[in-house]
Chains A and B, each alone.
Chain A
Amino acid sequence: MTTPARSLPRDRASGSLPDKVTQWFARKGWRPHQHQLQMVEAARQGRSALLIAPTGGGKTLGGFLGSLIELVETPARGLHTLYISPLKALAVDVHRNLLEPLSEMGLEIMAETRTGDTPQSKRQRQRKSPPNILLTTPESLALLLSYADAGKMFRSLRCVVIDELHAMAPNKRGELLSLGLSRLAALAPEARRVGLSATVAYPDEMEAFLSKTGRAGGGDVTRIEGGGAVEAKARILIGGDRLPWSGHMGTYAVNEIYAAIRAHGTTLVFVNTRAQAELVFQALWRINEDNLEIALHHGSLAAEQRRKVEAVMSKGGLRAVVATSSLDLGIDWAAVDLVVQVGAPKGSSRLLQRIGRANHRLDVPSKALLVPANRFEVLECQAALSALRAGQLDGDAPNPGGLDVLAQHILGTACSAPFHPDALYREVVRAAPYRDLTREEFDSVLEFVATGGYALRAYDRFNRLERFADGTLAVASPAVARSYRMNVGTIVEAVTLKVRMKRGRFLGEIEEYFVQGLIPGDTFIFSGQLLRYEGLRETVVEVSPGQGEDPQVPAYAGGRLPLTTHLADGVRALLEADELWPTLPAPVEEWLRVQQWRSVLPKRDRLLVEIFPRGERYYMVAYCFEGRNAHQTLGMLLTKRMERAGLDPLGFVATDYVIAVWSLQPARDIETLFDQDMLGDDLEAWMAESSLLKRTFRNVAVIAGLIERKLPGHEKTGRQVTFNADLIYDVLRKHEPDHILLRATRADAARGLTDIRRLGELLVRVQGKIDVRILDRVSPLAVPVLLEIGRESVHGGALTTLLEEAESDLIAEAMGGDMQGALPL
């Protein structure tokens, strides 16, 4: 964009800001941050800009400043700036925060949000006469791009601001967004991009995402670092001297957490799971003698309730909020004085972002307390703090883009206007996740979109896309476009059900799978209270207030993240370095000393396996430190092998740190048991049958547009005639194992299985380096995992065994012998 009106050099202190903006800063008593000025400069040059900065520090304003200046200097009609955020709530929040400076600066700039909640009439008006600034989500952008008037609407676009880029880039929403950005680059070639990202381990990948070349170093992106790293005053808090051996809830330290809340103005108490949020919240209120305003915030609560908490919080009306990752993203809170992380942090980047929520200002160190829930978590917290001090970050790097997302994008493009495959391919490979996409892959996906892409050419007369003489393609019917718009997006959520008090108010939503395990009369904790399950009415879960203290059914365990490789290594290092143990809490040091005396400590580059008898069984405990998901797979494979070796394995349990298997015979020949070929045949056979691939296929099929999303209320029509994704998977796997959707499924499963990769690396690493200790009793280090036995729910995989067990239990209990006789025959 050219702005001939401004050529005068301006006061260096305020960079090249127009008077209205400079005066606004002055009236506020603020000075623009260095990084904000750099952002303005990049905008002046028409360059894209990537701002990497910790939470806070006027990042969002920096993203908009360039656009505001352009609009002040050259008022224009039509859409100028598109702002994209991962959360509807964040778009709404940023909109509110933007309106204030706009009105204070006296700017006549129209800014509006557009999300799934925007009324139909407003959405139509926005397409005809768009605001200058539109704040929206990746899904709403995809929808806008699918309309025939997309070209007209986006022609005037000059800037796209992508907020919380780090949260979107590594997943499918980011992939969809990257393709949308490529489309926008074709419709509005002049539009620059602005990316706002937290500090991440992979800044090059963020730059590649933002670049119109799809690569880092493409030359079109100015990288701007905002402020230094968060200096955190963080320490570990132990509740009294009763440090638990196992468990993940951390409620044992509730008195200390409460004291910390009382000693600070506003505290954010972060936990790892929604179940933990409920329990910690309850525990705090049980001892809340001062009636401090303590609230609860997690993703399952009714949106209205969450908004209420957010609103009171931002006014400074709360002393504490117990929250899950639903508060991880940057909704702006007023002043937070303290962050408490209850339970292990699981990753240093995650911890850094959470800690960054305390004192949302760059110049003041954040204050944080880490409350480990058990002894191993003490080690993990210690490792996380060391990583933080050393500035080491972890987290997932973006993957190659999913073919299912590409299929959705191709169909969306075809809904808008005819396109030529050559042109669309050139456009797609300029999106970072798809930069290495081959033409063959592209053509296969295109063929899937057009005809289903089956080798058996049965459907050629039912094409979804129509081919024109000039080689272009477009949707064959308005019905196809309608179906696309109903199914847009990459979030295939678990089916959730509304929870309602009998004849009362809605409390929130809960996953269907959790409800399926309940029978009327069961009690569970939700929304901060003990509830009794009454039954399912249509698609609503009816509950009543529960009696007593403890729930019969443990709350759902969603959202448990495995330990990152990085932190795992930190824990291993700490175990090996006994000179550091005196820095640990006394009970932990003692625990490790006794372990040293009774057995040995796991060495950093070796695998320790302990074998000991207990009761009628033999236990084998392997200290792998690869995260619970990897350990679960390992458990499956190990027990299979032990079965073949005649060791009569009975079961296993996995934690983030170790795996324990118990059997009737003592395990022997450990080297063979852990041989790396375990990941070959055994794994493949297991994967093919496992529910993992089926679940992945279901998501891929929905995103790619093979299966339509189930719309709420659809299920009520008595006769259930919908087809089943599992059956389609089985049929396709048998008849066309190389179909593009199965290829996409395998790629997805493989990348979802960083755990399998970790497992593979472990097995290779420990070949010939296994330390086996035969003990006469359980070792101190093995106690935590043994305590998990019976506490955790049964893991899937052994369906046949479970069915037989359930059947025989029930028959023995209810029928007392032959069932036939008991029936009224």
Chain B
Amino acid sequence: MVALLLPRLDRNGTPFDSTGMIDFTLNGATLLADPSGALFWPERRMLVVSDLHFEKGSAFAARGVPLPPYDTAASLGRLEAVIARHRPETVICLGDSFHDQGAPERASADALTRVRALTARHDWIWIAGNHDPEPDPVWGGRTLPQTVLGPLVFRHEAVETAGAGEISGHYHPKARVRLRGRSASGQCFVTDGNRLMMPSFGAFTGGLDVTSPEIRRLFPRRFEILFLGPDRLYRFPNSALLPSRVLAV
């Protein structure tokens, strides 16, 4: 029962700035990971988010599990905030942006208006996901199965045989870090310098542990994670992670 309140240490050698971001390179492109779980590509003024799962709450409510109806508004609020911070020209949503095809009927008028305002102000790309193979045109923006921009490929679900520079979502990666006899669990980016897997941005989305075979087969060698802490990102090598296939309720 000892709580250690060490003075904040200087971070020698670990690049991060006061906004809690970490920059790194993927297939030659310099990228900024944001602690919100978004990714910014400064050179192209492009922002990437993954797995928004809009209207997940109402999808459960329709099945008799009345989750709070505030998830879409919450995710939208965070998305608007990160867009205001980085002022991108292009926004890519890496798939599963909508929890299901019924989302437009269940969404509130306010949510619809706010999404349409965002898609109208930016070059907005919906990458098709398994939950939303064809996002409704009512949201605005354009839909692509995947897209290649310079050295980077953007798709929803990683392809095992993909070359360098793949950026994907789908798995909602989470990790458990060992902290002297205790551990902390949370969402994270995963990268091996070759490909990047993004955390989910949606409010109600659970996660899959990075040590699970489904994710390990995509990162068979060394990799590192960027762990989404309370206000900044933390960088850990895969050797610092605890295996965990079981998650609490």
User: Nearest 6 CB-CB pairs, A to B?
Assistant: A452-B66, A458-B69, A735-B70, A720-B208, A792-B1, A462-B61
Query: Is there a chain B Cβ closer than 8 Å to A151's Cβ?
Result: no
Asked if A771 CB lies within 8 Å of chain B CBs, one says no
Point out the residue from B3, B13, B212 that lies within 8 Å of A797, measured CB to CB.
B3
Bound Cα distance from A710 to B242, whole angstroms = 22
Which B residues lie within 8 Å of A793 (CB)? Answer: 1-2, 180-182
What is the CA–CA distance of A719 and B172 in the complex, to the nearest angstrom? Answer: 9
Give the contacts of A719-736 with B (CB-CB under 8 A).
719-725, 727-728, 730-732, 734-736
Contact in complex: B206, A723 (CB < 8 Å): yes
Whether a CB of chain A sits under 8 angstroms from the CB of B34 is no
Q: Which of A605-649 contact B (CB under 8 A)?
A: 628, 632, 635-636, 639, 643, 648-649
A9 within 8 A of B: no
Assembly CA distance A734 to B242 (angstroms)? 31
Partner among B74, B184, B224 whose Cβ is within 8 Å of the Cβ of A819:
B224
- In the complex, A753 has a CB within 8 A of chain B: no
Q: Identify which of A459, A535, A723, A817 contacts B69 (C-beta below 8 A).
A: A459
A438 to chain B, nearest CB (A): 23
- Chain B interface: which size bin? 35 or more
| B193 contacts partner chain A, Cβ-Cβ < 8 Å | yes
In this assembly, does B113 line the interface, its C-beta being within 8 Å of a C-beta of chain A? no
- Is the C-beta of B127 less than 8 angstroms from some C-beta in chain A? no
Q: How far is the CA of A479 from the CA of B56 in the complex (A)?
A: 19
**Residue-by-residue, is A717-756 near B (CB-CB < 8 Å gives 1, otherwise 0)?**
0111111110110111011100100000000000000000
Closest to B180 in A: A794
- Which among B108, B184, B244 is the interface contact of A799 at CB below 8 angstroms? B184
Q: Is the pair A639, B64 in contact by a Cβ cutoff of 8 Å?
A: no
Report whether B2 and A723 are in contact in the complex, using a CB–CB cutoff of 8 Å: no
Give which listed residue, B13, B62, B171, B248, contacts A719 with CB less than 8 A.
Answer: B171
Q: Output the least CB separation between A134 and chain B (Å).
A: 31
Interface window among B37-45, B84-92, B133-141, B230-238: B230-238
Is B149 at the interface (CB under 8 A from chain A)? no
Which residue of A497, A639, A819 contacts B237 across the interface (Cβ within 8 Å)? Answer: A819
Bound-state CA distance A454–B108 (Å) is 14
Which A positions have Cβ atoms within 8 angstroms of B? 448, 451-454, 456, 458-459, 462, 464, 476-477, 479-480, 483, 492, 495, 497, 512, 516-517, 519, 535-536, 538-539, 553, 628, 632, 635-636, 639, 643, 648-654, 698, 702, 706-710, 715, 718-725, 727-728, 730-732, 734-736, 739, 788-790, 792-808, 810-811, 814-815, 817-820, 823-825
In the complex the two chains form, is B246's CB within 8 Å of A824's CB? no
> Given the complex of chains A and B, what is the CA–CA distance between A483 and B64 in angstroms?
9
Contact yes or no, A650 B4, CB < 8 A: yes
Task: Give the shortest distance, in Å, between B144 (CB) and chain A (any CB).
Answer: 23
CA gap between A154 and B89 in the complex, in Å: 69
Q: Is the CB of A715 within 8 A of B245?
A: yes
Name the residue of chain A whose CB is nearest to the CB of B185: A516
- For the A-B complex with A477-B64, A734-B70 known, give 5 more contacts whose Cβ atoms are closer than 8 Å: A720-B247, A794-B3, A798-B4, A814-B240, A823-B222
**Contact A728-B67, Cβ < 8 Å, known A799-B184, A814-B239:** yes
Given contacts A497-B246, A736-B68, A819-B235, contact A728 B171 (CB under 8 A): no
Q: CB distance A462 to B206 under 8 Å?
A: no
Q: Report B163-183 CB contacts with A as 1/0, cut-off 8 Å.
A: 000000001100011111111
**Nearest CB of chain B from residue A554's CB, rounded to whole Å:** 9
A sample of 16 cross-chain residue pairs with beta-carbon separation below 8 angstroms, ordered by A number, consists of: A458-B61, A464-B66, A516-B183, A538-B245, A635-B1, A652-B2, A654-B1, A706-B66, A722-B247, A797-B3, A800-B229, A806-B240, A811-B235, A814-B237, A814-B240, A817-B13
Cα–Cα distance between A382 and B26 once the two chains are bound (Å): 68
Inter-subunit contact B4/A719 (CB<8 Å): no
Residues on the B chain within 8 Å of A811, using CB: 13-14, 235
Which residues from chain A contact B176 at a C-beta distance below 8 Å? 516
State which residues 183-221 of B face A: CB under 8 Å: 183-184, 192-194, 203-209, 212, 214, 221
Q: Would you call B61 and A794 a contact (CB within 8 A)? A: no
Interface: B58 (CB within 8 A) = yes
Bits for B1-21, please: 1 = Cβ < 8 Å to A, else 0. Answer: 111111111011111000000
Choose among A459, A538, A818 the residue that contacts B66 (Cβ–Cβ < 8 A): A459
Chain B contacts for A456, CB-based, 8 A? 69-70, 108
A522 to chain B, nearest CB (A): 11
Interface centre among A495, A497, A724, A805 (most CB of B within 10 A): A724
How far in angstroms is the closest Cβ of chain A from B67? 6
Separation in Å of the A545 CB from the closest CB of chain B?
22
> For B148, what are the chain A residues with a Cβ–Cβ distance below 8 Å?
none
* CB proximity of A110 to chain B, nearest CB, Å: 38
Residues of B within 8 A of A553 (CB): 181
Q: Is B227 an interface residue (CB 8 A)?
A: yes
Q: Does B147 contact A (CB under 8 A)?
A: no
The verdict on B243 contacting chain A, using a C-beta distance below 8 Å, is yes
The contact of A479 among B9, B64, B71, B243, by CB within 8 Å, is: B64
How distant is the Cα of A799 from the Cα of B4 in the complex, in angstroms?
10
Q: A517-B182, A803-B177 are in contact. Are A715 and B205 (CB under 8 A)?
A: no
Contact partner, A452, options B9, B61, B181, B208, Cβ 8 Å: B61
Bound-state Cα–Cα, A815 to B234, Å:
15
CA distance A706 to B14 in the complex (A): 42
8 Å CB interface, B28-72 against A: 56, 58, 60-71
| Residue from the list A512, A653, A806 in contact with B179, Cβ < 8 A | A806
Asked if B237 contacts A824 (CB within 8 A), the reply is no
Question: How far, in angstroms, from A221 to B62 measured CA to CA in the complex?
Answer: 47
Beta-carbon contact of A801 and B243 below 8 Å:
no
Complex contact A731–B203 (CB within 8 A): yes
Min distance, Cβ B198 to any Cβ of chain A, angstroms? 16
B101 contacts across to A, CB distance below 8 A = none
Contacts of B206 in A (CB 8 A): 720-724
Q: Contacts A452-B61, A732-B70; is A798 near B3 (CB within 8 Å)? A: yes
Q: Is the pair B227, A803 in contact by a Cβ cutoff of 8 Å?
A: yes
**CA A536 – CA B61 in complex, angstroms?**
35
Evaluate contact between B13 and A517: CB separation under 8 angstroms: no
